[in-house]
Amino acid sequence: MSKETFLSLLRQHTGEYLSGESVSETLGLSRAAIWKYVEALRGEGYEIEARRGLGYRLLGTPDALTEAEIRGFLPRPGRVGQALHCFSQVNSTNTYAKKIALEGAVDGSVVIADEQTAGCGRMERPFHSPAGKGIYLSALLRPQLPPIELLPVTALSAVAVCNAVEQVCGLRPQIKWTNDLILGKRKLGGILTEMALEGESARLQYLVIGIGLNVLEQPEDFPPDLREVATSLSQALGRAVSRPKLAAAEIRELDRLYTALENGELEPYRQAYRRDCVTLGKEVQILRRDGSREQVTALDIDEQFGLVVRTAAGQLDTIRSGEVSVRGMYGYIE
């Protein structure tokens, strides 16, 4: 019998007293063993009251991205989240997910870290990932679909994250095409999707969706160059947000997305993306991978989540990669 089983019994009766006798009977534990677990759990940040004659009562849980805490909010995981790999520190959850993908990790495995020492964003940029503040999460999927159908996954995941944030926090972030999550014109998070194909057959080996969200940061937690352009959910709400609860919601939404992707039921995601996308209707600057820039007007999102724009010469064009700066955002004002 483990400490985790004792914890899950306390959880099932959160706020109620469980007598020492009933715990002993249910779990087959001695009083000494129960006390050892109580002390260990208190050391991990659990608030457990022990009262003579009444028993034990769970009063509070830590804001920890541990398997026990996340599963506490995810009682019946679907395919995504059936295996959880939780770390207090890792270089990058995407890097770890790619490693275990090659070692045969199960479809739907999720890697979560409290801190990343080498978190990475698109265009090989670093992703600031301090300890105890954000959620750094990567989901490993193995969809049986042609790789071309997976190109919109970054955009689709952005909608999934907006859904999760809205469920837990009651506010809905916006999306800057394609992968930036925005609150009040500042960056709340981002998504980095990576996939590997088998050389011979061009079949998908794995898909990794990496999501970074700023949750508990205050301005001083961001380095000076990010302070004016980044924000967190706590900053926006003026209160703390439960990271394990939000991580569980992200996992549930990714699971829902996985099913929708396989069934081709993406229209609700397309509609939500169009609604949430701050880029549409704006003058934007396209920053191409070769370093060139072009001023255009963003008009629409096409079926593949490409950005339909009108060029300065009045022609219609669709942007499928690269990055756009939106006038008035992140200090882009010229």
Nearest distance, CB of residue 267 and ligand BTN, angstroms: 26
Complex with ligand BTN: residue 163 or 179, whichever CB lies closer: 179
Q: Does 130 bind ligand BTN (CB under 6 A)?
A: no
Listing DSSP states for 145-187 in one string gives: S-GGGGTTHHHHHHHHHHHHHHHHHS---EEETTTEEEETTEE
Q: According to CB under 6 A, which one of 169, 192, 254, 329 is a site residue for ligand BTN?
A: 192
Please identify, using beta-carbon distances, which residue of 24 and 91 lies nearer to ligand BTN: 91
CB 261 within 8 A of CB 90: no
Residue 323 near residue 287, CB atoms below 8 Å:
yes
Tokens of 186: 């500042």
Number of residues engaging ligand BTN in binding (CB under 6 A) = 20
Nearer to ligand BTN, 23 or 208 (CB): 208
Among 48, 64, 74, 93, binds ligand BTN (CB under 6 A): 93
- Report how far Cα 171 is from the mean position of its chain's Cα atoms: 16
Q: DSSP strand E in the chain: where?
A: 47-51, 55-60, 84-87, 110-113, 134-141, 174-176, 180-183, 186-197, 204-214, 283-287, 293-301, 307-311, 316-319, 323-326
185 sits near ligand BTN (criterion: CB under 6 A): no
Q: Are 207 and 143 in contact (CB under 8 A)?
A: yes
Q: Considering the rule CB under 6 A, would residue 92 count as an interface residue with ligand BTN?
A: yes
Q: Closer to ligand BTN by CB, 41 or 97: give it.
A: 97
CB of 88 to ligand BTN, least distance (A): 15
Asked if residue 127 binds ligand BTN (CB under 6 A), the reply is: yes
Residues in the chain: 334
212 sits near ligand BTN (criterion: CB under 6 A): yes
β-partners of residue 209 are 139, 193
Nearest to ligand BTN by Cβ — which residue? Answer: 190
| 92 or 174: CB nearest ligand BTN | 92
Quick one: DSSP state of residue 137?
A: E
Residue 119 in the binding site for ligand BTN (CB under 6 A): yes
Among 6, 46, 56, 136, binds ligand BTN (CB under 6 A): 136
Sites of contact with ligand BTN (CB under 6 A): 92-94, 116, 119-122, 125, 127, 136-138, 179, 190-192, 210-212
